[in-house]
Chain A
Amino acid sequence: MTDQEQPVVLIAEDEQTIAEGYELWLSDQYEVRLTADGQEALDAVDDTVDVVLLDRMMPELSGEQVLREIRERAIDCRVAMVTAVEPDFDVVEMGFDAYITKPPERQELLDTIQQLLDRAGVDDAFQQYHSLMARRGALQAQKTEAELEQSEVYQDLLDRIESQRTEVDDNLGNMGAEVDFVSAVREVEDGDSGFDDVELGEGENFEDADTGDFETSEGSDD
């Protein structure tokens, strides 16, 4: 991975020593951009930024105000709040994608950033998954359950669906946590949903279904 391909993490932290500590932990894997307050963070944030770490309590603009502005500008990035106070439900309502309690452990910080980056990649995983599920839906509409049970193509499809679902779920993170759940739904709502007629575009793999080639069709690979 070249430097240009490293994900970008923007940090807004007014205490310089803390900010430099984060940078030390993160700079191996990420391109780190340091800003010292909310206004600097707003000036620096753009679509090249993947994850923003916002200190909750900063002079002038608070983390919450910065987040609101980022959302209003519809910048495609995930925002984690770094807070010394154990956050309440307000973090979810404000629209943060994650929170980290201060002072964070190194691993916790790395894990949180990785989870947010994974979630940002869920669009692609979803597109694959939906496509496979749509293919199954089409086969179910064309074939009887008995025919499907006999079909290797269909059983293979079920296996691929299972592994693709696992990938989607890994990207989503822990849906038992409210902040992750709302963040995942925001990702779905704001995300590129891809082509909606995915169902029709996949037809070549079971065009033969009516001709009896269905059981032996080798067209199951993309």
Chain B
Amino acid sequence: MWSRVIEIMLGCWLVISPFIFAHPDTELTWWISDMLCGTAVILFGLLSYWRPARRAHLATIGVAVWLIAYAYLRSSEATGAAIQNAAIQNNMALGLLLMMFAIIPNDASKPPEPWRVPTGDTTRSGSSPQEPDDLPQSGTDRQLAASHH
């Protein structure tokens, strides 16, 4: 889950970005975009810890695409010095970073869930009941896991 932790930290950075880079009060869309995106990233990161929503971190890819698209949108309407605009660069850098972290699965060091049981073992005999991550990923098992936790 290291990737989720980093996403949540990057989300916090996005939320406080308007203050760090001192967005002017007239740039209300920058304020809203940065804070909403940051909040969404934190939310998706936290939701990923909840087993039924464990793929919520993939939604962060959408936020990252928006951050990058918005950076290009705002840079095309401005010229010259505005390219240096900290808000644009912040969105671009955070978009790229979040895109990379968001595709990393939970428990990335382990095999994907369906591969964690030996060949032909459908009974879950080898896995401990305390660890829902060791359950196979078939539909019924997922519901079982969701209801147990």
Q: Do A and B interact with each other, yes or no? A: no
Binding site for B on A (CB under 8 A): none
Binding site for A on B (CB under 8 A): none
